[in-house]
Amino acid sequence: VYTTTVQPAPRSRSQCAVCVLRHRGLCAGVDDLDLDGSAALEAAHGATRVYDAGDVIYQQGDRSDQVFNLITGWVAIHRDFADGRRQIVEFLQPEAMFGMEAAGDLMGHGATALTNASVCPIGTAKLDDLRRRVPSLNERFIWLLQRGGRRLREAQATLGQGSAKERIAALLNQLAAIATGRAPMRAGAQVRIPLTQRLIAEATGLTSIHVNRVLRLLRESGVVEFQASQLRIVSPDKLRALAEPEDDSAARGSRLAPDEGYEDERRAPVTDRSRALLHGLA
């Protein structure tokens, strides 16, 4: 029981014929994947692996000799502490690629299936070859890494600065946006998000008990309703206000009228905050 739970054997294997479809995440926008290249991809990737909810795909500290494309299901990327604490770094949805660790390093994180899930592995060595042969695939790979970094920075910012309410709102907002394919959210829209309150807690750095209270708050204040893995977005505006308090060139806008900006700065009481905002860090 123990060994299979920690490192379960894949349940079934099936050779995937149209492998580009299974690697949409990696291949999206790749236009020069000629016959030679797609044959190489076909040859490079391994057999599809199927996991049950809760199965460990790999563990922190494992050798990192392959990367994975998530075909179906949800996966959590997490970082484990020796004393049992766990931080969920990211929730992955289909088409995500994961397990890319810097050459020579062991896995700095673990991956666990949250639902039944199927993934397609590719050996890193083979992927490296493929990248060198197919330039636009190389670019796509880099793009994935960069966008991943951006998401991590955003998550880190909300984790460091956000209140419990903001953290949870940001998480739900982001998951909903990805799940709906970035379609604009309408009031009342429903999204399936297969997370328990415990998982939300581990991702937001809160207690599951506190997550429960905050979810009630969000429900009572007409923002979102999250019950039985169903997220109902009551007020997209309220949700966005909570989830995205980013700056993003607010200063840039005001630079269109530098005089006013200058006046404002002179007149307003110069608090720590406003000063930091205007003058940068030091």
Partner DNA sequence: CGATTGGTTGATTCTACTCAAGCCCGGTGG
Partner DNA sequence: CCACCGGGCTTGAGTAGAATCAACCAATCG
Q: Does 26 bind DNA (CB under 7 A)?
A: no
Q: Are 99 and 49 in contact (CB under 8 A)?
A: no
Residues of this chain, 158-197, that bind DNA according to CB under 7 A = 163-165, 196-197
Is residue 196 within 8 A of residue 209, CB to CB? The reply is no
* b/e per residue 51-64 (b: at least 16 CB within 10 A): beeebbbbeeebeb
The piece of 60-68, 146-154, 223-231, 240-248 that touches DNA (CB under 7 A) is: 223-231
Site map 33..62 versus its own copies, x via CB under 8 A: --------------------xxxx--xxxx
Looking at beta carbons only, is 16 or 204 nearer to its own copies?
204
Judge whether 73 and 118 are in contact, CB under 8 Å. yes
For its own copies, the binding residue among 10, 46, 123, 261 (CB under 8 A) is 261
DSSP state of 132: H
Nearest alpha-carbon partner for 194 in 159, 231, 160 = 231
State the binding string over 235-254 for its own copies (x if CB under 8 A, else -): ----------xxxxxxxx--
Please report whether residue 4 would count as binding DNA according to CB under 7 A.
no
Binding partner at 250 among DNA, its own copies, none, C-beta below 5 to 8 Å by kind: its own copies
CA distance 275 to 2: 56
Here's the x/- map for DNA, 246-275, by CB under 7 A: it reads as ------------------------x----x
Helix (H, G, I), strand (E, B) or coil at 226: strand
Please choose, from the candidates 97, 96, 62, 91, the residue with its C-alpha nearest in 3D space to the C-alpha of residue 78: 91
- Contacts with DNA by CB under 7 A lie at 163-165, 196-198, 205-210, 212-216, 227-229, 270, 275, 282
